[in-house]
Amino acid sequence: MTRYPALSPAAEQDILLIVDIQNDFCPGGALPVPQGDAVIPAVNRLAARFPHVGLTQDWHPAGHLSFATSHPGKKPFETIEVSYGLQILWPDHCVQGSFGADFHQGLKVPRAEFVLRKGYDPAIDSYSAFRENDRQTKTGLSSYLRERGFARIVLCGLATDFCVLYSAQDALAEGFLVSVVVDATRGLDVEGSLEKALGAMRESGVALVQS
């Protein structure tokens, strides 16, 4: 088992960004990340240690482009070509207003300062908290964080190899220091995507740490 350096103490210019700990990404959900709910105790402990905390929430309309059901004859985890490139097709998940889109009831983050909803454009998927999958449309999060004076973004949540990966790389590209708390994340691991994601983050300059 890989050992990672410990996360340094939180400073006033640090923010913990908790990614997509929603019912549909936990066991029993429509798109469960294996052991996704196992991160919740570590995430809750992290949230209590940080002076600033934010949350992201997948928030798809029914019939979203990324749903396999929107493409007759296609099955979940197949890929199609769309206007912005390859798109993995997913089971219907995190549909706006549904139980699956709700945060897991075990998540205890009473001091969260904001919730960023993403993936609500019916024609564009959105993994990153910073820009949608067309890689052009920004969410506005980087400007918000910069205006508030944050320097380091610490990421945890689901899934390591998709929304955490994309958010970490985009945060780095926006000029922030970025850490990912590996023991407070879990991956879908589609055809080796978890190990590839960890390698890509390490190579790009994201600090991989443990809580």
Catalytic residue ranges:
20, 118, 163
Residues linked to residue 95 through DSSP beta bridges, in sequence order = 60
Pairing outcome for strands 85-88 and 79-82? antiparallel
In whole angstroms, give the CA distance from residue 147 to residue 141. 10
